[in-house]
Amino acid sequence: MSMYKSIYDEYFKIAEISFRNKGIDYINWKRLKAQGIAESNLDEKVVSKAGAIGIMQVMPATGKEIGYAEHELYIAERNIFAGATYLLKMWNKWDMVDIKAERWKIALASYNAGIGNIRKAAKIALKNGFELYWASIAKFLEDVTGKYCKETINYVYRVQKIYEDIKEVKDE
């Protein structure tokens, strides 16, 4: 039995469908769940200091963009769907990255730090002769976000680590 067993697994599985419908098989429900664990430890009521809400830590403005009022982000199913929708949007912004594992890490970083910050760091990396990999972007992220770069770098690592821990766990 997984220490991450969740009453929300069905919602993550439903959210995965939005990726499959777009031909994206890399983002499965366990990757989404790993993100939810990293974001909030699957706490639907938590609100960050920045105002991000629920399991996927969705900002009210992002929720509104997706079509949810702020109060709806406290509903686990809608929050998970909003987070997955936003991650899909970030994934699509990095279509020039062919390696799916790299694209996932860059999409996660964009979800966490904002697409603009990650694009700026990517631009600096490319200008310095690096290829478009997460490690290259992370190397220059401090130039863009200062001390906050550590939060994003740790976030991406943590989501990956949690995914590694849960990917082999059999569904119950």
pLDDT digits (tens, 9 = 90+) for 55-104: 999 999 999 999 999 999 999 999 999 999 999 999 999 999 999 999 99
**Domain layout of the chain by residue ranges:** 9-166
* 3-state DSSP helix/strand/coil % of the chain, to nearest 5: 65, 0, 30
Radius of gyration of the chain (CA): 16
| Res. 169: pLDDT tops 90 | no
Can you name the residues that pair with 121 across neighbouring β-strands?
A: none
Give the global pTM.
0.94
Mean pLDDT of the chain: 94
| pLDDT at res. 171 | 63
Q: For residue 161, which phi and psi values (nearest 5 degrees)? A: -65, -45
Q: For residue 53, which phi and psi values (nearest 5 degrees)? A: -115, 140
> 32: closest CA among 58, 51, 56, 2?
56
pLDDT mean over 131-135: 97
Q: Does the domain at residues 9-166 carry the CATH identifier 1.10.530.10? A: yes
Q: Is 46 left (phi over 0), alpha (psi -120 to 50) or beta?
A: beta
Alpha-carbon gap, residue 150 to 103, rounded angstroms? 19
| Res. 172: pLDDT tops 80 | no
How would residue 1 be classed by pLDDT, with cut points 50, 70 and 90?
Answer: very low
pLDDT mean over 134-144: 98
| pLDDT at res. 5 | 65
| pLDDT at res. 6 | 81
| pLDDT at res. 106 | 98
Owner of token pair 């366990």: 30
| Res. 50: pLDDT tops 70 | yes
Give the 3-state secondary structure of residue 53: strand
8-46, pLDDT tens digit by residue? 999 999 999 989 998 899 999 999 999 999 999 999 999
